[in-house]
Structure 1
Amino acid sequence: MTASLLVRRPSVAFLAGWLFAALLFAGWSLATPISSAPDEPSHVVKAAATVRGDLTGGPTDATGIEAFTLPRDVSDLGGAMACTAAQPTVPATCQPDLDSFGDDEFAATSGVGSYNPLYYALVGWPSLFLGGDAAVIGMRLVSALVNAFFVGVVAWAAAQMRRGSAVAAWSAVALTPMATYLGGMVNPNGVEVTGCLALAAMAWLIVHDPDGPRLGVRAGALVVAGVVAGNARSASPLFVLLIVVAVLLTVPVRDVGDLLRRRPVWLAAAVAAVGLGAAAAWTVLVAAPAGFIPSSDPARDTLLPAVLHTLAATENYGTEMIGVLGWFDTGLPQPVYYGWTAGVGLVVAGALGFARRRALVGAGLLMVALLLVPSVLQAPSAAAFGYIWQGRYSLPVFVGMVIVAGLAWQHARPSHERWLRLVVVVVSAATVGQVASFATAYRRYSVGVSRPFRDVLEPGSWQAPGGLVAVALVFVVGAVGLGVLGVLVTRAVEAAAAEIPSRADAPASADAPSSVDASPVRADGGEEPAAGTDPALDVAPGRATHAPRA
């Protein structure tokens, strides 16, 4: 694979991104035992029921709990199957064999029975043909493929962004170990995160380059990401709206009006409105009346104390966004937390220090939202349900913030060579952090956190399907492959930008990167405005232009 091919044929970047992300997520799918992921027993029950036509289950005496009748070997995932939950020293060897449970009917309960059924319909179908471990792992792998698709969309968008050549670095920071871990589990939180990641990248590409080729395909990808992510969980439509509004704020209002007059865009907006309207309707009519599972914490506070309590927990939420795996029982190595915190700080500081005012407004909206959304969504119900927010619930806003802030920074400082070095450093560090997190989680479930890594190889330790070597190879190939792809895309986009003066009079290729325009490049890597334009606005007198702008 040559770097130039990725720019000339962005679909190659998409397929490569999808493949490597699928391997990365599949590594997590196989390396963690059944019922070890957050609330996974409930999500598996919901998925198995959804594909059998039962979308909401029946009521029970417990708030937020619904009942379903399903084959026992795809639904009896609590009890002994969850023997590792909240016990980090207990390895997965304590689990019984799910295949031995039989397929007789079982009265299963789920705490997510009232959730939007879209995600569950996408991932639940393996349970119609498989049973036991194979059914659950099959659902995990399908979920990994769905999540990987959206990472592929990000790679496709990155290959078309001349001023966004460092998207690989922003994506590496955004996809924390917690995000990639969720990408391989049966949990709609994963697709909410990856969908919002793709949404932010595609929205930026469309808004800053509406004259690029295949606007209809771009708009279609935007709609798919937005609608799938927006139908994941109750708060998802809000997250999607925040990201889209933030990106629109990075350009003048008149440009937004021009954009919405384009047929592919307004058609996409109409479809998205229907899809997100359906999500909102499900939340109001089905999910909200069903209630939520109350927190086990006895604290119940009124609005103002709940807001202050939630704000005080911001640091904890940040740690959880980077990664506290399993049932809050598997922490990551301290250098992983330090490294990711530094990466996020770099992106935020870059945007605050260098982004142009208009672009900073959009990035700033998501920064503020990341801080306040937990309070806005949790505090009003704290008196009834207690404190139920987890850091991973904020990840959709977090990934959008990192992408928008990173692109806002880069648009103000388009020097190419510097960004390639940054991509190499950030992507390399993130890859090491992902592998270290994977190894830590595998050790925890194989022998428990109190045992040394070498004991993973001892007889009697828990092993993933296929064995440690095979699963680790799948994960490492996915992680390293994504990193290499990101560097290659960056090199290709920057090389294409450097060639612009010599190609200014050449006819554009249909597959050329759409955001490559004919603006001359200065010696410092920036751009000279085209003749007759206002450099402050990137607008030619008397007309609007759709050249990339900060």
Structure 2
Amino acid sequence: MKFPKRKALRTRRERIPPLVLRFSVSFIILSLFTTLWSLASPLMSIPDEAAHTVKAAAVARGQFLGTSGQTQGEQLKVIVPKYIADTHALSCYAFKVNITADCSPGLSASDRQPTEARTSAGNYNPLYYLVVGLPSRVLSGEPAIYAMRIVSGLLCSLFLAATVLAATQFGNRKWPVVAAGVAITPMVLFLCGAINPNALEVVTASAVFINLCLVLDNVRDLSRFRFNIIVVGVSAAVLANTRALSLLWLALAVVAALLMFPLRDVLLLVKNRLVLAMTALMAVAASFGIIWLQTSNTLASLLGVPSKITPEQAFGTTLDRTFDYAAAYVAHLGWLDTTGPAAVLAWWSCLIGGLMVSAISVRPWRLRLGFVLLIVAALVIPPVLQAQVVAEIGYIWQGRYLLPVILPMLFAAGLAIRFRDFPTSPFAKRLTAWAIGLTVAAHTAVFANALRRYGVGIFAEANWGDMFGAPKWQPPLGWLPLTLTYLVVMALAGILLYRHLFNGLAPEPNLQTDEPLAHSTPGSLHE
């Protein structure tokens, strides 16, 4: 039997378009991450996952809306298989870091009889749930829930891969790629591996922003960026029909991208038929999202306890907690009861802080306009929204809600500094290798710590030894094989990132590499 020669293999590989290869590799790696998180997290260990699971199973059976009264926070009634209805009883460990996941009674695959269940997500937009709920029509019991998680992760990985691909397509691509490495935190991957539409709005908002920036950056050669134009339209359409605040995130992503480019470049977009078609798609999708919000009264499902706190007090308190919420941008797992290791939070604070300071210091001023808008939005939106609802449902804001702003903000920072020289000295290469290595270790530490929390609990005394003894709870396939697999995949991603930064392909033709903003000089931007 003859094996293909190395030259023949290289020829076949070279036939694969570079963009297809980059997208495929990104999607596979991201899908592995989300799948591993799907398996590592005990069922219903993500905030409100039971409510979203019931909603997904109901929508998959044609129940887009359930039955309910008219009072604030009243959960809707739907009919789902009994094993789906029983998911509310699985989170016995919620809010208690010393209680392991073995307290969960589990689910029986034979319990498929139609049962009434309640869900606080009953009147949410059905688009996400229609896709994620499909495995519950084929499988039953715990395998069905894990399959629903994996499908959610694959869906999110598609948009996240399109985001990473766009970062690699800029003529000056290295800083945007660095921003991607910083923005995809453990929290993002954790959410993507769960049944919760929060993850989908995070990745679609990021895809809209960076792909629109790429299109604007190459507005005079759009024939080579048709895929990215389609990504903008599809991502925007999905984002507009995800959650109650998704239309706000969509508006911010679009406006922030437009602010980073001259008006004359923005106006050139209207001459492209595909752009007009995707704009029409966005308009129709946004209209449907607005109609759904108004007719289904989505905001009425928000749970909470009425408070006597005044809106002014709520505004000030929420603003004061701005940096407390920041832990959720990196690693605030479970029912907000498991924060990542302190060293991980400190490391990401350095990465994010360095990126943000670099962006705010860059010139000309237009390069940082989108970044400034998003950072102001990140500071102002939480207290404003919390002040509006505090009297009716109390304090409900969580840091993860703002991730659809935080990720585009970090990408905007990377785009703002993309024309700055990327250091390539031997020292810079060693420094980058160490930084990537520490990031790989940080990701893995968060993953392992989450498994420890559910396997043996977290106490004042270190108990890692118990994990190698007899953990009270184990995920499918075992905690150690999952952790080692996660480390291997993360290391592979780190190697690919390093190679892209220092051994990547030369800038693609017809992409500007010397002048910031298409066909503009710094002097024309009024520093």
What is the Cα deviation at residue 178 of structure 1? 1.4
Amino acid at match of 2:277: L
Distance 1:534 1:124 in 2: 49
Matches of residues 145-160 of structure 1 in structure 2 within 5 Å?
145-160=154-169
CA contact (8 A) 2:163 2:207 kept: yes
Aligned to 1:472: 483
State which of 13, 16, 21 in structure 1 corresponds to 2:30. Answer: 21
State which of 80, 92, 96 in structure 2 corresponds to 1:87. Answer: 96
Check if 1:229 corresponds to 2:239: yes
CA change 1:116–1:427 in 2 (3 A) is farther
State which of 347, 353, 365 in structure 1 corresponds to 2:361. Answer: 353
CA change 1:421–1:262 in 2 (3 A) is farther
Distance 1:6 1:160 in 2: 19
CA change 1:480–1:83 in 2 (3 A) is same
Check if 1:258 corresponds to 2:268: yes
Aligned to 2:424: 417
Deviations 1:339-397 (A, max 9, x none): 11111111110011124201211110001001111123221121111111100000010
Distance 2:279 2:498 in 1: 33
Matches of residues 297-312 of structure 1 in structure 2 within 5 Å?
299-312=307-320
Matches of residues 130-279 of structure 1 in structure 2 within 5 Å?
130-210=139-219, 211-279=221-289
Amino acid at match of 1:478: V
Aligned to 2:521: 535
Aligned to 2:4: none
Amino acid at match of 1:254: R
Aligned to 1:63: 73
Amino acid at match of 2:489: G
Aligned to 1:392: 400
Residues 383-392 or 269-278, more deviating: 269-278
SS in structure 1 of the partner of residue 210 of structure 2? helix
Check if 1:116 corresponds to 2:125: yes
Check if 1:314 corresponds to 2:322: yes
CA contact (8 A) 1:322 1:340 kept: yes
State which of 377, 397, 403 in structure 1 corresponds to 2:385. Answer: 377
Amino acid at match of 1:161: F
Distance 1:270 1:103 in 2: 42
Deviations 1:263-296 (A, max 9, x none): 221221111111122122212221346342124x
Amino acid at match of 2:150: L
Aligned to 1:462: 473
Distance 1:290 1:396 in 2: 22
Aligned to 2:511: 516
Distance 2:194 2:509 in 1: 35
Residues 390-399 or 83-92, more deviating: 83-92
Distance 1:172 1:162 in 2: 18
What is the Cα deviation at residue 486 of structure 1? 2.5
Residues 20-29 or 464-473, more deviating: 464-473
Amino acid at match of 2:257: V
Check if 1:54 corresponds to 2:40: no
What is the Cα deviation at residue 309 of structure 1? 1.8
CA contact (8 A) 2:236 2:282 kept: yes
CA contact (8 A) 2:175 2:422 kept: no
What is the Cα deviation at residue 534 of structure 1? 6.3
Aligned to 2:5: none
What is the Cα deviation at residue 123 of structure 1? 0.9
State which of 308, 332, 335 in structure 2 corresponds to 1:324. Answer: 332
Aligned to 2:416: 408
CA contact (8 A) 2:72 2:300 kept: no
SS in structure 2 of the partner of residue 417 of structure 1? coil
CA contact (8 A) 2:218 2:511 kept: no
What is the Cα deviation at residue 6 of structure 1? 12
Which structure 1 residue ranges, 4+ long, deviate > 6 Å from structure 2? 4-7, 418-422
- Residue ranges of structure 1 left out of the alignment (5+ in a row): 498-512, 520-526, 540-549
CA change 1:405–1:220 in 2 (3 A) is same
Deviations 1:74-108 (A, max 9, x none): 221122x1111111101111111312671122221
Distance 2:469 2:430 in 1: 41
Check if 1:39 corresponds to 2:25: no
CA contact (8 A) 1:6 1:492 kept: no
CA change 1:416–1:257 in 2 (3 A) is farther
CA contact (8 A) 1:234 1:287 kept: no
Residues 36-45 or 418-427, more deviating: 418-427
Aligned to 1:12: 21
Of all paired residues, the percent bearing the same amino acid is: 32
Aligned to 2:457: 448
Residues 375-384 or 334-343, more deviating: 375-384
Question: RMSD in angstroms over aligned alpha carbons?
Answer: 2.7
CA contact (8 A) 1:22 1:478 kept: no
TM-score (norm 1): 0.87
CA change 1:364–1:370 in 2 (3 A) is same
Distance 1:91 1:148 in 2: 29
CA change 1:514–1:288 in 2 (3 A) is farther
What is the Cα deviation at residue 218 of structure 1? 1.4
CA contact (8 A) 2:73 2:301 kept: yes
Amino acid at match of 1:417: T
CA change 1:424–1:270 in 2 (3 A) is farther
CA change 1:64–1:428 in 2 (3 A) is farther
Deviations 1:149-171 (A, max 9, x none): 12211232133212122333211
Distance 1:422 1:354 in 2: 22
Residues 6-15 or 17-26, more deviating: 6-15
Distance 2:359 2:434 in 1: 19
Distance 1:300 1:264 in 2: 52
Distance 2:453 2:299 in 1: 38
CA contact (8 A) 2:168 2:177 kept: no
Residues 239-248 or 423-432, more deviating: 423-432
CA change 1:423–1:248 in 2 (3 A) is farther
Distance 1:11 1:416 in 2: 28
Distance 1:6 1:162 in 2: 22
CA contact (8 A) 1:75 1:108 kept: yes
Deviations 1:448-474 (A, max 9, x none): 112612212323521111112332244
What is the Cα deviation at residue 230 of structure 1? 2.7
